[in-house]
Amino acid sequence: MRLERLLQSQGFGSRKACRLRIEAGDVRVNGAPCLDPQAEFDTAGLTFEIDGETWAYAEHVYLALHKPAGFECTHQPQHHRSVYALLSPPLVRRGVQSVGRLDADTTGLLLFSDDGRFIHAMASPKRCVAKHYRAILKHAFDETLPKQLLAGVSLTGEPTPLAALSAQQIDAYTLALSIDQGKYHQVKRMVAAAGNRVEALHRVGFGALSLEEGSLSALAPGDCCHLGENHLALLGYRH
Binding site residues, ligand URA, CB under 6 A: 102-103, 106, 185-188, 201
CB nearer to ligand URA: pick between 60 and 185: 185
CB nearer to ligand URA: pick between 13 and 182: 182
Contacts of 219 (CB under 8 A, 6+ apart): 64, 66, 211, 225
Q: Say whether 103 is catalytic.
A: yes
Helix (H, G, I), strand (E, B) or coil at 187: helix
Q: Smallest distance from the beta carbon of 142 to ligand URA, in angstroms?
A: 20
Nearest 5°: phi and psi at 63?
-125, 150
Alpha helices in the chain (DSSP H): 3-9, 15-23, 89-93, 116-123, 144-151, 186-193, 229-234
Is 189 in contact with 149 (CB distance < 8 Å)?
no
Q: Smallest distance from the beta carbon of 185 to ligand URA, in angstroms?
A: 4
Q: Smallest distance from the beta carbon of 69 to ligand URA, in angstroms?
A: 10
The one catalytic residue among 103, 105, 142, 180: 103
CB nearer to ligand URA: pick between 87 and 187: 187
Nearest 5°: phi and psi at 209?
-95, 120
Q: Smallest distance from the beta carbon of 64 to ligand URA, in angstroms?
A: 16
CB nearer to ligand URA: pick between 29 and 201: 201
Residues marked as catalytic: 103
